[in-house]
Amino acid sequence: MTTQTSLLRTTLVVTIAVLIGAGSLWLHFTRQRGEPGFTAGTLPACDSSYTRKLLRQTIEQAPASRAVGLQVLRLGFMRHHFDGVRNTSQLPARVCEAEIFANAGRRTLGFSLEWTCAEKDEVWLSIPQLPW
């Protein structure tokens, strides 16, 4: 094997490695960011991990919950009741129910998921039964 063939082979390998590395970086920096488990345009399921996280945050960050020091210990069952359309916005909405275990006791709460805008890239979770 000559030195020229070896140099050509090394250059080819390095070039391919650089292209693969550049492609990987491009994919990493251009993929869509957002919450894990959330896809824009698709209303999350009642029992999805995204909904569970959003429900916990909504309860714990509500002013009434903060005033009494309410903390969610865990979430039990989560059920889907029905899908509908909001009268005012004509956007899809989903009505759900969840069992909440908190430092103030166990409770079953109804909540709804709906889009905040026509782009369907942000979800609003509403719990009418708060405060606890």
Residues 12-51 have pLDDT tens digits of 766 665 555 545 444 444 444 456 667 888 899 999 999 9
Do 25 and 67 sit in the same domain of this protein? no
Structural domain count of the chain: 2
CA dist., res. 59 & res. 56, Å (int): 5
Do 112 and 60 sit in the same domain of this protein? yes
CA dist., res. 115 & res. 122, Å (int): 6
Do 68 and 98 sit in the same domain of this protein? yes
Q: Which string of DSSP letters, residue by residue, matches 41-73? A: TBPPPTTSHHHHHHHHHHHHHSHHHHHHT--EE
Do 60 and 89 sit in the same domain of this protein? yes
Do 26 and 53 sit in the same domain of this protein? no
The angle formed by the CA atoms of residues 42, 97 and 80, to the nearest 5 degrees, is 45
The domain in which residue 91 lies consists of 49-126
Residue 76 belongs to domain with CATH number:
3.10.450
> How is residue 85 written in tokens?
């359309």
- pLDDT tens column, 68-83: 999 999 999 999 999 9
Amino acid at 9: R
Do 71 and 115 sit in the same domain of this protein? yes
Q: What is the pLDDT of residue 74?
A: 97
Do 59 and 107 sit in the same domain of this protein? yes
State if pTM tops 0.75.
no
Per-residue pLDDT band for 129 (boundaries 50, 70, 90) equals confident
> Under DSSP, is residue 3 helix (H, G, I), strand (E, B) or coil?
helix
* Contact in structure between 89 and 115 (CB atoms under 8 Å): yes
